[in-house]
């Protein structure tokens, strides 16, 4: 049986790891987008976490194969901008404490940069344009 103290330590560790994963996503996906752009990316991650179509932890959502470009494109191997990382981390903490609402994207589960047009976008319902990104959710099924 795990003691209450051990359970508490495990919960704190898991919260720290989830915050780190959210910080990574905000930093690598939207650090140049300002707070609104970062909140929009966080909104997608949190919507996915609540969705039955995606994993149920922030880290598993962020590291789901082929979902976030920074995971595989070598971005994490480059030197970080410490100030931008700190800002993303502070925002992640505020988001996870519920201090900042993230409902900006109309319950979007997907997004892409405006500079690209992925094939999947045509099958989606566009919900928002924020910064350099376009946001989508699944289109309702037609019967």
Each residue's pLDDT tens digit, 7-53: 556 665 678 999 999 999 999 999 999 999 999 999 999 999 999 99
What stretch of H or E contains 135?
Answer: strand 133-138
**What is the pLDDT confidence band of residue 4, given thresholds at 50, 70 and 90?**
low
Each residue's pLDDT tens digit, 88-102: 999 999 999 999 999
**What is the pLDDT confidence band of residue 5, given thresholds at 50, 70 and 90?**
low
Selection from 66, 60, 63 nearest residue 14 by Cα: 60
């Amino acid at each position: 049986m795990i003691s209450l103290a051990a359970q508490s330590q495990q919960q704190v560790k898991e919260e720290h790891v989830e915050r780190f994963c959210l910080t990574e996503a905000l930093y690598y996906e939207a650090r140049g987008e300002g707070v609104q752009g970062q909140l929009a990316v966080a909104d997608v991650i949190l919507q996915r976490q609540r969705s039955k179509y995606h994993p149920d932890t922030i880290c598993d959502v962020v590291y789901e194969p082929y979902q976030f470009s920074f995971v595989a494109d070598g971005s994490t191997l480059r030197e970080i901008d410490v100030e931008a990382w700190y800002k993303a981390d502070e925002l992640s903490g505020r988001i996870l404490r519920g201090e900042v609402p993230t409902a900006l994207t109309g319950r979007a589960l997907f997004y892409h940069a405006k500079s690209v047009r992925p094939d999947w976008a045509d099958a989606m319902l566009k919900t928002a344009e924020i910064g350099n990104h376009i946001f989508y959710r699944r289109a309702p099924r037609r019967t």
